[in-house]
Amino acid sequence: MANENASVKLSLRVYFSSLVAFILAFLIIYLPAQVLVHTVASFFNIPTRFHRFQLIFPILDHSFLWTQLSVSCIYSATPLVALITFVVARIVFFRKHMTLSFPANLLLIWLNALGIHFFFGALLVGIPLVRDFGYVPDWLYFPEWIRNALIIFSAIVLLVNGVVVRRQVEALMYSEKQQQRPYYSFLFKWYAIFSPAITWIFLFILLGFPNNTLYMRLFWLIFLLQLVAVFPFRFIYAPLLYSETSVKISGKNVIFVLILFLLLVLWRTVHLKIFPLPLVP
């Protein structure tokens, strides 16, 4: 009974540590991306305002301010930030993961998964709905076959990255049973990856965060596509990098989450005071 209680407590530590890492990774990508969107829109004299926690543009669709260049630059801003974050996180993980802490590696894993999703997941959902990043191929008059090819390619990229995420998660295992027995492997992945992702996606959709559009709801649901490739069991025979004592909830990560979220709330509040703009042509 004591061993079972200890095992449950350890699994919950993995879950909450990953939960914190997920939202921190999201804020690391989302906050700079929204700042860049506002900056690029201002360059084209396009006004912005917050709807919930996402910037929108209070001008009509047929406004002369919308051009191929302005649409491409504005709606590519967030995917660009995310793609850079993804590349950096991937490089840092594979070069430094053996020396980094358990929470730090979880953060890099989520930066990897969310970073690539904000690019290819946005294409996968945006092209069929003609929303967000999907506006770019529409305004650039991409032929239908290219759009379909981008959708298929994006799905493949997300699945392949899921395989990478699986290998990253497996590097965090702290027990030989997790490496060599399917049940314990799945249990670790469930608490480290599946449960945190499902929890946040459910909350984001329920609360309409950062926006409550159909695009955003599908965007979060499609994120689970990456996790399909994390399921398969792979027998591992390698030295353990972590022990049970390595599994911690990072106080620094919690503090950074609070700081970044408060900055987002503060910026949203100030922005609404400064730019309470009506619809303009």
How high is the pLDDT of residue 98? 85
Task: Place 112 in a pLDDT band, splitting at 50, 70 and 90.
Answer: very high
Q: Which helix (H) or strand (E) holds 132?
A: none
- Residues with Cβ within 8 Å of residue 165, at least 6 apart in sequence: 109, 112, 113, 193, 226, 227, 229, 230
Residue 76 within a domain: yes
- In-domain check, residue 281: no
Is the residue at 3 inside a domain?
no
Q: Is the dihedral of CA 93, 156, 223, 181 positive or negative?
A: negative
pLDDT of the residue at 236: 75
Residue 274 has pLDDT above 90, yes or no: no
- Whether 204 maps to a domain, the answer reads yes
**Containing structural domain, residue 211:** 10-274
Dist CA 230 CA 170 (whole Å): 9
Q: 36 is written with which tokens?
A: 């860049």
* Total number of domains constituting the chain: 1
Given a cut of 60, whether residue 175 has pLDDT beyond it is yes
- 2 within domain boundaries: no
Q: In this structure, are residues 166 and 229 in contact, taking their beta carbons and an 8 Å threshold? A: yes
Rounded CA-CA distance 153/155 in Å is 5
Confidence label for 281 from pLDDT (cuts 50, 70 and 90): very low
Q: Mean pLDDT lowest for which of 116-120, 216-220, 247-251?
A: 247-251
Q: What is the pTM of this model?
A: 0.93
- Does residue 107 belong to any structural domain of this protein? yes
Asked if residues 196 and 187 have their Cβ atoms less than 8 Å apart, the reply is no
Q: What is the pLDDT of residue 275?
A: 64
- Summarised one tens digit per residue, pLDDT across range 37-94 is 999 999 999 998 888 888 989 888 888 899 999 999 999 999 999 999 999 999 999 9
Tokens of 53: 């926690």
Residue 56: strand, helix, or coil: strand
